[in-house]
Amino acid sequence: AQTVTQSQPEMSVQEAETVTLSCTYDTSESDYYLFWYKQPPSRQMILVIRQEAYKQQNATENRFSVNFQKAAKSFSLKISDSQLGDAAMYFCARTQGGSEKLVFGKGTKLTVNP
């Protein structure tokens, strides 16, 4: 089975500091897409950032950036200047088999301490 592994069930960070969430995945494909989604408590899951595997440049969206290491099959998310509103479950996901289907990791619960 092609899996996505998030090795950190829970993480915490102080407000205004930086935190990195890890994600590794298994694939035999050369072209695929990677995503980080955020799921706040009792709220909609929303996209944080997207990375195309054939692009070497790491994606960034304001305070969110990724460290994409294709050979290592690693896709970590860095959150800079953490805010209380960043507290949520974060899920890493990748496309499967050249399709629109996504395979998700188990998630990392991020707590932001004031």
Partner 1 sequence: EADIYQTPRYLVIGTGKKITLECSQTMGHDKMYWYQQDPGMELHLIHYSYGVNSTEKGDLSSESTVSRIRTEHFPLTLESARPSHTSQYLCASSHGSLHQPQHFGDGTRLSIL
With b for 16 or more beta-carbon neighbours within 10 A and e for fewer, the 90-102 pattern comes to: bbbbbbbeeeeee
CB 6 within 8 A of CB 21: yes
* C-alpha span between 54 and 58 (Å, rounded): 11
Strand partners, 69: 74
Here the tokens at position 65 are 């950036």
Q: Which residues bind partner 1 (CB under 8 A)?
A: 4, 33, 35, 37, 42-47, 50, 52, 91, 93, 95-96, 100-107
**Shortest spacing between CB 33 and partner 1, in angstroms:** 4
Q: Which CB, 56 or 114, lies closer to partner 1?
A: 56
**Shortest spacing between CB 4 and partner 1, in angstroms:** 8
Q: Which CB, 62 or 114, lies closer to partner 1?
A: 62
**Given the structure tokens 């629109």, which residue do they identify?**
100
**Shortest spacing between CB 32 and partner 1, in angstroms:** 8
**Shortest spacing between CB 17 and partner 1, in angstroms:** 25
Q: Which CB, 19 or 49, lies closer to partner 1?
A: 49
